[in-house]
Amino acid sequence: MSRVQHVVLFRWKEGVGPDHIAAASRALVELPTLVPQIKSYSFGPNLGINPGTYDFAVVAEFDSADDYLVYRDHPDHKAFIAAYTADFVSERAAIQFPID
């Protein structure tokens, strides 16, 4: 089975400021220590080079779709969503695709 790349893009709601984004980033740093199925994890704000893009991205790699599902359903990941994105994101896009 192929490894899985997971990509999430966010648009923050109007009024979400740098303090919240910094707190979300600090929380994201912790997730790989809490969810061992994460093989690589990167994230950050959009550089603003092109118009019409999303504000923030998260990219994670997993050894398998099953490992991705563990992450997706993990209580610490769900707690992150509840605390930092559920009420703060106006738009979200995500994809999971196989990588070699």
Model confidence pTM above 0.85? yes
- Kindly report the number of other CB atoms within 10 A of residue 16's CB atom: 20
Residue 1 has pLDDT above 80, yes or no: no
State pLDDT tens for residues 46-92.
Answer: 999 999 999 999 999 999 999 999 999 999 999 999 999 999 999 99
Residue 57: Cβ-neighbour burial (10 angstroms; 0-12, 13-18, 19+): middle
- Kindly report the number of other CB atoms within 10 A of residue 64's CB atom: 14
3.10.450.50, 1.20.1420.30, 3.30.70.100, 3.40.50.2300: CATH of 3-99: 3.30.70.100
Which one is predicted more confidently, 78 or 100?
78
